[in-house]
Amino acid sequence: MDDVDRALIAQLQRDATQAYAVLGKAVGLSAAAAHDRVRKLRERGVIRHTTVDVDPAALGRGVLAFVMVDSSAWMGEASASFAAIPEIQEAHVIAGAAAVLVKVRTATTEQLQDVLRRLYAIEGVSGTQATIVLDTFFERPVSTD
Amino acid sequence: MDDVDRALIAQLQRDATQAYAVLGKAVGLSAAAAHDRVRKLRERGVIRHTTVDVDPAALGRGVLAFVMVDSSAWMGEASASFAAIPEIQEAHVIAGAAAVLVKVRTATTEQLQDVLRRLYAIEGVSGTQATIVLDTFFERPVSTD
DNA sequence: GCTGAAAGACTTCAATC
DNA sequence: GATTGAAGTCTTTCAGC
């Protein structure tokens, strides 16, 4: 994991459709060498997978909210219960109270309310505090700096 | 934007390196037809770009926190100030108080403290409340369901 | 809007330094 | 590890339906 690897990752985060010849030239490597480096980064799990970034609004998910989910019990094993709600994009166990922070995307605020209802149905959930996002400044890949 | 488009997007979110022949077969289309559909989804901005998903820990960003940034003034134009801090992965203007919610990834909690210091240096910022993530249940693409 | 085929470009591997 | 060159595969385009 040296500076060349980091430069390759930064390039791929920007555009993973680049040909290895172009990618190599950008970091000062031949196509085959760039290919070999990227292959190893994938093998080692540094690069998990290649995906597409989709406009949430185009998929009918224009409303973004963060919801703090309070619970009366340890939620460390409740991952599947949250994953079963497709509107939930992320779920994190947080420090402090026994709580989970989730990132939710819905089409409307009515649907957000419905997600809250489904959250309450999860065993142990005792409360929710939703925070609606008015504007997203940016969402970007993990920095390689 | 029909069910076939949604199926194509779901496939690409899972693995954007698939050949169009494979992609087409998965949704019941020829390679050329799948290619044409995906090209149009890109043109229309539904698919914004193709990227790689990187393990944050491998990049020395193993600590995740969400920070609520309170301010004494309207923060609607402060995007660049947040973007200048590479440890900040996301920044959202939220409803309620004049506040911004940011997602931060650092190597250590000491570095998180340093990010808080840099946040305070932004014009108008009056306070921060950091919430450290103990465990991430999941982070996934926007659902096509 | 889809199919099938052809041309060109890219990935991928082996040999070599 | 990196490079060069060759082989195989995939992307991309276009005429036809």
**Strand ranges, E, within chain A:** 47-54, 63-71, 88-94, 99-106, 125-139
Q: Verify whether the Cβ–Cβ distance A134 to B90 is below 8 Å.
A: no
Domain that holds residue B25: 3-43
A137 is a domain residue: no
Could you tell me the distance in Å between the CA of residue B39 and the C1' of nucleotide D14? 16
What chain B residue is nearest to A57 in terms of C-alpha separation?
A: B46
Residues of B in contact with A141 (CB under 8 A): 51-52, 54, 89
Q: Are A100 and A37 within one domain?
A: no
Q: How far is CA B91 from CA B72, B78, B79, B99, B103, in A?
A: 17, 10, 8, 10, 7
For range B49-62, the mean pLDDT? 97
Q: What is the CATH number of the domain that holds B18?
A: 1.10.10
Nucleic acid strand C within 7 Å of A32 CB: yes
- Residue A33: what pLDDT? 95
Return the number of CB contacts < 8 Å for A and B: 211
For range B6-21, the mean pLDDT? 96
Tokens of B144: 């096509």
Q: Are A26 and A85 within one domain?
A: no
Residues in CB range of A104: below 8 A, 6 or more apart:
A64, A65, A66, A67, A87, A88, A89, A112, A115, A130
Q: Are B82 and B118 within one domain?
A: yes
| 8 Å CB contact between B135 and A93 | yes
**Strand ranges, E, within B29-113:** 47-54, 63-71, 88-94, 99-106
Using the predicted structure, report yes or no on whether residue B134 has a pLDDT greater than 90.
yes
Residue % of chain A over a pLDDT of 70: 100
**Helix B20-27 and helix B3-14: axis angle, to 10°?**
130
pLDDT tens digit sequence for A11-57: 999 999 999 999 999 999 999 999 999 999 999 999 999 999 999 99
Q: Work out the widest C-alpha separation in chain A, in whole angstroms.
A: 57
Rounded CA-CA distance B42/B46 in Å is: 6
How many domains, chain A?
2
Report residue B33's pLDDT band, with 50, 70 and 90 as the boundaries: very high
pTM of model > 0.85 = yes
Rounded CA-CA distance B140/B101 in Å is: 20
- Residue B96: what pLDDT? 78
Residue % of chain B over a pLDDT of 90: 95
Using the predicted structure, report yes or no on whether residue A1 has a pLDDT greater than 90.
no
Residues in CB range of B3: below 8 A, 6 or more apart:
none
A82 is a domain residue: yes
